[in-house]
Amino acid sequence: MKNNRDWKAIRSLLPFIWQFRGRVLFALALLSLAKLANVGVPVVLKGAVDALDPQQQEIIYLPVILLLAYGALRLASSVLSELRDALFAKVIFRSVRQIAGKIFQHLHKLSLRFHLQRQTGGISRDIERGSRGITFLLNFMIFNILPTIVEIALVTVVLLIYYDSIFAIITTGTIVLFIIYTLVITEWRMRFRRAMNEMDSQANNQAIDSLLNYETVKYFNNEAFEAERYDQKLARWEHSAIRNQTSLSVMNIGQGVIIAVGLTLLMLLAAQGVIDGELTLGDLVLVNAYLLQLYLPLGFLGFVYREIRHSLADMERMFSLLEQSEDVKDLPDAADLQLKGGNVRFDNVNFGYDSDRKILKNISFEVAAGQKLAIVGASGSGKSTLVRLLFRFYAPTSGRIYIDGQNLANVSQHSVRRAIAVVPQDTVLFNDTLFHNIHYGNPQASEQQVYAAARQAQLHRFIEQLPQGYQTLVGERGLKLSGGEKQRVAIARALLKNPSILVFDEATSALDSHAEQAIVHELQQLSSNKTTLVIAHRLSTITDADQILVMDQGRIIEAGSHEQLLASQGRYFEMWTLQLAENNGEQN
């Protein structure tokens, strides 16, 4: 099962590598030449040593040539390896860039349901570790494991041709035992690495969530409580990390024993061969040089294999994000929405976030192009869910939603969202400047258009009084601004988008009465030729609506104009009377 997951991660990576196949093949050719040069070094060194042996010395220039060849082969091996790395750099970093970009785009395509359940810190850490894992895997799997195997094969062939088979048998046996031991122990160790990664992600989630809710932590004096929760997760991470490191030491000791035994046996055989006159000093040097050449990459092979397994585990978590399915998908032949004014119609719409929890029940209404529809009701009655369905964050369980007679299920999500601007009740801003947050409504807009939108949202004068003006940083999630200031920024960027359909989800709830009246008056003028949906808490802001829907427990229980609903003396009348009494109480 683990191998299947590993191969799946590798298969996910291959398409990104295949686009650079010419560059990869050239890099592999350089690798092969470098390894041939490397294997040739001990052969040339043996010749030089034998030529310098007083009993075998013939012509003085021969060892000079061999020593020059030795230096040339060393240089060639180094230069070819560096050229290979430089050539392959684009393959590695372009692949990381493309994969990270693909995951980033996919996360934005996922439904609101996924993002309401996600743990931002854990996802961030998974992408970071996965990207690092790809870099390691490409570097070391292709340029360390493969060349080490090639070098081992070449050395074994040389030993079989020129020396007794016992040399090749001991060399191969040592390597095989080393690899088997490394594989077995690494598989055992992987559980500790996975547990360590899991605890690391959980601790990171806890830290980020706590810092994002800094004010809440302070309000309830829970700094020590948060620190204790964080430390509990770090304690579990510490336990896994210690076991991971201890098991690494066990593996390194075993590897050292295997290599030491193999080296000792081979050197004893070579030394005995020299004593018996069957081998020269050059042969002893050659065998020793090969063993040292193999020892270093072989010792590194254990590290590389461990890290590749860790990298595959990290990549597995990252690529699993791409397996998250989109709840709302465009049809293969989805066309763009063709706007003809912005008529909106809900036709017997039902919806529930879960199969056993129905939120909307048989909702039907229509807003003519350019008209204003207001939706009121108690908290939890389903008002905001209507907006999420219109914006295609979710698809209705049954029923249809139309804009200008076109079923939203048949048109592209992008074109629907391009036609609608939403001012939410809870405004979250980017940790950037005021200008950036307003300009975000339409990145193609000019500076003057941004300033005009800020004026329309009654925000321009406030910004001009700030020391840094529009370049003022708003802080993470806009924490440096008041609730009213954040909502005015949200209104400004919605106006800058200049959509056909405007949605205000209790957009003035955080404003004081004076600012609210000024903005409501401005919004009335700006939305006079746009289809407008307003979810309102303060009924005084929607008295001019063409139609008002009153919702309760997912159903529309009343509909009509302000005057009609007051005359019917139903639920709306009760809400109006209650708010009038509250306003009079505040004034007194």
What pLDDT, in 10s, does the model give residues 18-53? 777 777 788 778 877 887 787 777 777 777 776 666
Domains of the chain are 2-323 (1.20.1560.10), 343-419+500-588 (3.40.50.300), 428-498 (3.40.50.300)
The CA dihedral of 431, 432, 438, 442, to the nearest 10 degrees, is -100
- What's at 569, amino acid-wise? Q
3-state helix, strand, coil in the chain (%, to 5): 70, 10, 20
Write out the two tokens for 385. Answer: 């869910």
Looking up tokens 């219109």, which residue turns up? 390
In whole angstroms, what is the distance from residue 246 CA to residue 240 CA?
10
What is the per-residue pLDDT for 348? 93
In whole angstroms, what is the distance from residue 286 CA to residue 49 CA?
9
Query: Three-class SS of residue 547?
Result: strand
Which helix (DSSP H) or strand (DSSP E) does residue 40 occupy?
A: helix 21-52
Q: For the chain, list residues with pLDDT below 70.
A: 1-10, 12, 50-63, 108-125, 141-144, 295, 297-303, 306, 323-327, 477, 507-528, 583-588
Query: Order of strands, edge to edge, in the sheet holding 531-535?
Result: 420-423, 501-505, 531-535, 372-377, 547-552, 555-560
CB atoms within 10 A of CB 515: 19
Strands of 408-524, DSSP E: 420-423, 501-505
In whole angstroms, what is the distance from residue 76 CA to residue 34 CA?
7
The answer to whether 438 and 489 are in contact (CB under 8 A) is yes
What is the per-residue pLDDT for 379? 80
Q: Give the sign of the dihedral formed by CA 141, CA 142, CA 144, CA 145.
A: positive
What pLDDT, in 10s, does the model give residues 307-347? 777 777 777 777 777 766 666 777 888 888 898 888 999 99
Which helix (DSSP H) or strand (DSSP E) does residue 215 occupy?
A: helix 214-219
- What's at 313, amino acid-wise? A
Looking up tokens 């360590």, which residue turns up? 196
Write out the two tokens for 245. Answer: 């490191």
Which helix (DSSP H) or strand (DSSP E) does residue 349 occupy?
A: strand 344-354
What is the per-residue pLDDT for 588? 47
What is the per-residue pLDDT for 587? 53
The answer to whether 178 and 255 are in contact (CB under 8 A) is yes
CB atoms within 10 A of CB 448: 8
